[in-house]
Amino acid sequence: MTAPAVDARRPTDDGRFGAYGGRFVPESLVPACDEVDRAFRAAWADPAFRSRLDEILTGYAGRPTPLTPAHRLSAELGITLLLKREDLMHTGSHKINNVLGQALLAQRMGRTRLIAETGAGQHGVATATAGALLGMATTVFMGQRDIERQALNVFRMRTLGAEVVPVHTGSRTLKDACTEALRHWVTAVADTYYCFGSVLGPHPYPWMVREFQRVIGDEARGQAAAALPAGTPDVVVACVGGGSNAAGTFAGFLDTPARLIGVEAEGGAALSHGTDGVLHGFRSKVLQNHEGQIAEPHSIAPGLDYPGVGPEHAYLADHGRARYVTVNDTEVVAAVHRLARAEGIICALESAHAVAWVLRAVTTGEVAPGATVLLTLSGRGDKDMATLMELT
Catalytic positions, please? 95, 117, 378
Round to whole Å and give the CA distance between 349 and 355. 10
Neighbours of 243 (CB within 10 A): 33
Q: Which is nearer to ligand PLP, 136 or 239 (CB)?
A: 239
x-or-dash string of contact with ligand PLP, 166-205, rule CB under 6 A: --------------------------------x-------
- Closest to ligand PLP by CB, 82 vs 347, is 347
Binding flag, residue 239, ligand PLP (CB under 6 A): yes
Query: Which residues are within 8 A (CB) of 143 and not within 5 positions of it... i.e. 6 or more apart?
Result: 119, 166, 167, 170, 171, 172, 173, 174, 176, 177
User: Per DSSP, which regions of the chain are E strands?
Assistant: 16-17, 20-21, 67-69, 80-85, 113-118, 137-143, 163-167, 192-194, 235-239, 259-265, 275-279, 282-286, 322-327, 372-377
Contact 20, 283 (CB under 8 A): yes
Minimum separation from the CB atom of position 300 to ligand PLP (A)? 13
Contact between 206 and ligand PLP (CB under 6 A)? no
Q: Does 350 bind ligand PLP (CB under 6 A)?
A: yes
Q: Is 256 in the site for ligand PLP (CB under 6 A)?
A: no
Supply the DSSP symbol for 58.
I
Report the nearest approach of ligand PLP to the CB of residue 296 (Å): 17
3-state SS class at 365: coil
Interface stretch with ligand PLP, choices 130-138, 161-169, 237-245, 364-372 (CB under 6 A): 237-245
127 part of the interface to ligand PLP, by CB under 6 A: no
The DSSP string of 60-88 is II-PSPPEEE-HHHHHHHTSEEEEEEGGG
- The strand pair at 67-69 and 322-327 is best described as unpaired
CB-based contacts of 289, cutoff 8 Å, min separation 6 = 295
Q: How far is the CB of 363 from ligand PLP (least distance, A)?
A: 24
Is position 215 an interface residue for ligand PLP (rule: CB under 6 A)? no
Give the nearest distance from C-beta 146 to ligand PLP in angstroms.
Answer: 13
Candidate ranges 105-113, 184-192, 233-241, 329-337; the one touching ligand PLP (CB under 6 A) = 233-241
| 210 within 8 A of 217, measured Cβ to Cβ | no
Encoded amino acid at 254, one letter: L
| Least distance from ligand PLP to the Cβ atom of residue 123, Å | 6
Q: Which member of 116, 147, 240, 263 binds ligand PLP (CB under 6 A)?
A: 240
Q: Interior CA angle at 361 toward 358 and 366, to 5°?
A: 130
Give residue number: closest CB to ligand PLP: 379
138 binds ligand PLP (CB under 6 A): no
> Given the complex with ligand PLP, which of 57 and 348 has the nearer CB atom?
348
Question: Would you give the DSSP letter of residue 243?
Answer: S
Q: How far is the CB of 269 from ligand PLP (least distance, A)?
A: 12
Rounded Cα distance, 224 and 258, in Å: 12
- The candidate with the shortest Cα–Cα distance to 189, out of 13, 25, 12, is 25
303 is a site residue for ligand PLP (CB under 6 A): yes
According to CB under 6 A, which one of 65, 223, 245, 288 is a site residue for ligand PLP?
245
Among 11, 242, 274, 311, binds ligand PLP (CB under 6 A): 242
Interaction of residue 243 with ligand PLP, rule CB under 6 A? yes
**Of the residues 68, 91, 150, 244, which one makes contact with ligand PLP according to CB under 6 A:** 244
Residues that bind ligand PLP (CB under 6 A): 93, 95, 122, 198, 239-245, 303-304, 348, 350-351, 378-379
